[in-house]
């Protein structure tokens, strides 16, 4: 099946890698025009060429912590393709200096809050006026399964930032439900992306500890998240808003996992 978001304009932050990249590819396959906002200029420019040129994909250098740059990203989507129909606010970081609260200093805490949480506030604030004017829009914010479950292997600022993304998405979904704009939070389980590989590369024991809790016994592939995002972006999810959309291989449903 193709054309599930035919003619729609989507903005994807963090679209040069991992979940964002798989989603950009999926959105293009399904007929959308996509504006990628990222800081990886080489990858971004290469993607424009690979995916069909500026008729289909535009790359914008955006640090998602900058209000001016985020505003310009959404303005580019409107000016280039005529609408802002889908916002996948997905860029995020998971740096090793964010660890147990006992070891995480204030600078590390603040950096993660800025990139993971303040960015989503800025992206929603920039996208909403276009969507409200159109009386149509789907916002998908990337939270995480750690927004709903505690981990003994802690990354304190990351978990707190994702909790913030989840409750902000819920509140926006409720506030704008009667105005044609849906807002949902995607809560992925662990996904096989550079972010996760970087985190676990130095610590095999930590990776194994995570895997024990996944009933499916494996990490997700980015394409499996992209399919979930596509569903939330398309009209197939038309009665869903303010939702905690867990795509986690069964983690949040498990008490004891099979060996």
Instruction: Please report, for residues 55, 180, 204, 227, 243, the alpha-carbon distance to residue 84 in angstroms, rounded to integers and kept in the order given.
Output: 15, 13, 42, 20, 21
Q: Is 60 in the site for ligand NAD (CB under 6 A)?
A: no
Q: Is 142 in the site for ligand NAD (CB under 6 A)?
A: yes
User: How are strands ordered across the β-sheet holding 57-61?
Assistant: 57-61, 33-38, 9-13, 86-89, 137-142, 181-188, 244-247
Q: Is 248 in the site for ligand NAD (CB under 6 A)?
A: no
When the beta carbons of 64 and 166 are compared against ligand NAD, the nearer one is 64
Count of chain residues binding ligand NAD (CB under 6 A): 29
In this structure, the number of other CB atoms found within 10 A of the CB of residue 45 comes to 14
Marked catalytic residue, from 59, 81, 130, 158: 158
Interface residue with ligand NAD, options 11, 12, 64, 183 (CB under 6 A): 64
When the beta carbons of 13 and 136 are compared against ligand NAD, the nearer one is 13
Degrees to nearest 5, angle at CA 121 with 33 and 239: 60
When the beta carbons of 20 and 137 are compared against ligand NAD, the nearer one is 20
Instruction: For the segment 108-137, give every residue that binds ligand NAD (CB under 6 A).
Output: 115
Smallest separation, CB 19 to ligand NAD (Å): 4
**Active-site residue, 158 included:** yes
In whole angstroms, what is the distance from residue 233 CA to residue 217 CA?
28
C-beta separation of 213 from 251 below 8 A: yes
In whole angstroms, what is the distance from residue 132 CA to residue 27 CA?
22
When the beta carbons of 128 and 246 are compared against ligand NAD, the nearer one is 246
In whole angstroms, what is the distance from residue 163 CA to residue 190 CA?
16
Q: Residue 140's Cα: distance from chain center in Å?
A: 7
Q: Is 44 in the site for ligand NAD (CB under 6 A)?
A: no
Interface region with ligand NAD, contact rule CB under 6 A, candidates 3-11, 90-98, 99-107, 127-135: 90-98
3-class secondary structure, 101: coil
Pairing of strands 33-38, 244-247: unpaired
Smallest separation, CB 163 to ligand NAD (Å): 12
Interface residue with ligand NAD, options 196, 228, 230, 251 (CB under 6 A): 196
18 φ, ψ (degrees, to nearest 5): 55, -130
Q: Is 168 in the site for ligand NAD (CB under 6 A)?
A: no
Q: Which two tokens stand for residue 208?
A: 């194994």
When the beta carbons of 193 and 234 are compared against ligand NAD, the nearer one is 193
256 DSSP 8-state letter = S
Q: Is 249 in the site for ligand NAD (CB under 6 A)?
A: no
Active site residues: 158
Interface residues toward ligand NAD, by CB under 6 A? 13-14, 16-20, 38-40, 62-65, 90-94, 115, 142, 144, 188, 190-191, 193-196
């Amino acid at each position: 099946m193709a054309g599930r978001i035919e003619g729609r304009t989507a903005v994807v932050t963090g679209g040069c890698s991992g979940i964002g990249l798989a989603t950009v590819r999926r959105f293009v396959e399904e007929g959308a025009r996509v504006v990628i906002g990222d800081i990886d200029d080489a990858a971004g420019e290469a993607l424009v060429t690979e995916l069909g040129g500026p008729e289909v994909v535009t790359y914008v250098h955006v640090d998602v912590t900058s209000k001016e740059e985020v505003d310009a990203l959404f303005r580019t989507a409107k000016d280039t393709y005529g609408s802002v129909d889908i916002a996948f606010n997905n860029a995020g970081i998971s740096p090793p200096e964010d660890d147990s609260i006992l070891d995480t200093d204030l600078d590390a805490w603040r950096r993660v809050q800025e990139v993971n949480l303040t960015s989503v506030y800025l992206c929603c604030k920039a996208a909403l006026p276009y969507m409200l004017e159109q009386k149509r829009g789907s916002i998908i914010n990337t939270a995480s399964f750690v927004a709903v479950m505690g981990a003994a292997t802690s990354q304190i600022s990351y978990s707190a930032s994702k909790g913030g993304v989840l409750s902000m998405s819920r509140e926006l979904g409720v506030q704008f439900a009667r105005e044609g704009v849906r807002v949902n939070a995607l809560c992925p389980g662990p996904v096989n992306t550079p972010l996760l590989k970087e985190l676990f590369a130095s610590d095999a024991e930590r990776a194994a500890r995570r895997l024990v809790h996944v009933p499916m016994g494996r990490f997700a592939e980015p394409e499996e998240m992209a399919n979930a995002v596509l569903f939330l972006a398309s009209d197939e999810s038309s009665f869903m808003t303010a939702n905690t959309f867990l795509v986690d291989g069964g983690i949040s449903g498990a008490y004891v996992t099979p060996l």
